[in-house]
Amino acid sequence: MADIGAPELADLGQYGSELERWKDSVSMQSVIVVGVALALLFFLRKPIARGVMTLTSKLLKKLQIELSDKTIEKLYGTIEILLVTVGVLVASEILAPPVLGEGFLRRLILSVAVMAVFAAWYQLVDPFLSIFRDHRIADVQMEQDWITRVTRFAILLFGITSVLNVWEVDISGALTGVGVLGAGLAIAAQDLIRNLIAGMTNMSEQRFETGDAVEIEGVTIGTVRRIDLRSTLILGFDQVPRYVPNSDLSNSVVKNYSNMKHRRILVKVPLVMSVSNAQAEAVRDGLREHLTTCGDFDLGEDAPKHVYIDGLSPDAVEIRFYARTTSPDYATYLQVRERLVVRTRDLIDETGTALAYPTQTIQLDRSVDTAGPERLEPPV
C-alpha cells in the first residue's frame, strides 16, 4: 500500500517545496499591495464600468449610433467581468503563485475573460443588428432572425476555438474534418446556399423590407411578411401566403409600391363629336382650375400637370387629364379620382355637352332590287 501511494506523496511534497520557495521569493508587502488593489478593483468595478460605458456612448453618438438601455445593461456585466479577470491576471503575473501546475491559473483566467467577451457578443447580436435596420414602417419590423442565427453560430464557434487555443489544444485535425464535412454539405445544400446569398443580396440592396407592398414580375403580388433563411413570405392581396425562394427574388424585377411618393392619375374625357370648340375649351379650363385649386395634386416643378384637348377618335373629342396625387395612399387616391369624376360631370352639364359613347353607323344601299322569285332561286 505504501508503494502505491508513493507517487502521490512525492507530488505533494514537490508542490509543497515549490510553495515554500514562492513564499521566500515574494515579499509580504507585495502580497498586501496586490490584494488591496484587487479588493479596490472589485468594489469599484461598477463605477468604472459606468464610466467606460458613458465614454463609449459618447463616441458612438458621434457616429450617429444609439444604444438601447437593454444593450447598455448587458455591456455593464461584461465590462465588470473583464475588469476583475484582467486584475486577477495582472496580479498572478506579478506574484506568479505555483497554483495547480505551471500556467494553470493564467489559462483559467484567460478562459473566463474569453468566455465573457464571446458571451456578451452572443447576447448583443440582435441589439447591434437592430442598429443597422431601417424602420420606415413603425408597426412592422424587418425580420432578420436568420442573420441573428448565423451570427450567433459563428460567435459560438469562434468562442470555443479561442478557449481551446488558450489551453493549447490542437484542433487542426478537427478543423480539417470540419472542412471536408463542410465541402460535402455545401455540395448537398447548393440550393440553400444560393438562397442564403440571394437573401443577403436582397437585404444589402434594400429592394424591399418587411411590410412593403411588392410585385414580383411573373410570380406574385402582395405584402412582405418575413424574410427568412431560404425564402421570403409574401402575403397576397387575396390573403394567401406565398413562400418565394430568395434566388427567384434576386433574379426577378421587383416593383416596390411602398416606395412610391405619389400616384399617377391619367384620365381621358371623351366628348361627343358635335361639341363646339368653346364647349370643349370650357371643360378643359374647368379641369385645369380643379387641378390647381383643389389641393389633391402635386404642383411641384417636376410634377406633371397636363390638361389638353388631346385629339379625335372615330366617335369622340378627347380631353387628356394627367397629374399625380400628393400622397401614395390608395384610399386617398380613390377619393381624389372620385372628386375628379364628380367635377368632370358637373363641367359637362354646365357647358351643355355630353359624354361620347362608342357608336357605329350602318348604311343600307336601297338601289339594289331584291324583289322577284328569280332572285330568290339559288344559282345553278
Q: Kindly report the average pLDDT of the chain as a whole number.
A: 77
pLDDT band at 127 (very low <50, low <70, confident <90, very high): low
Q: Is the pLDDT assigned to residue 5 strictly greater than 60? A: no
Write down the pLDDT at residue 84. 84
Cα 113 to Cα 81, 110, 163, 342, 375: the distances in Å are 7, 5, 10, 74, 113
Q: What pLDDT is stored for residue 177 in this prediction? A: 65
Using one digit for the tens of pLDDT, what is the confidence trace for 336-374?
A: 999 999 999 999 999 999 988 876 667 776 665 555 555
Q: Starting from the edge strand earliest in sequence, which strands make up the sheet with 306-313, in order?
A: 264-271, 316-324, 306-313
Does the pLDDT of residue 18 top 80, yes or no? no
On the question of pLDDT at 377 being above 60, the answer is: no
Q: What is the pLDDT of residue 180?
A: 67
pLDDT for residue 118: 85
Mean pLDDT for the stretch of residues 209-214: 86
Most confident of 18-22, 41-45, 146-150: 41-45
Q: What's residue 339's pLDDT?
A: 94
Residue 2's pLDDT is 46
DSSP-derived pairing of the beta strands 213-216 and 254-256 = antiparallel
Mean pLDDT for the stretch of residues 20-30: 71
Res 156 pLDDT > 80: yes
pLDDT score, position 336 = 93
| Higher per-residue pLDDT: 95 or 289 | 289
pLDDT band for position 234 (50/70/90)? very high
- When pLDDT is averaged across residues 219-241 and rounded to a whole number, the result is 86
64: pLDDT strictly greater than 70? no
Q: What is the pLDDT of residue 283?
A: 93
What pLDDT score does 22 carry? 66
pTM: 0.48
Q: Which tens digits make up the pLDDT trace of 183-211? A: 666 666 667 667 777 777 776 677 888 88
Residue scoring higher pLDDT (196 or 234)? 234
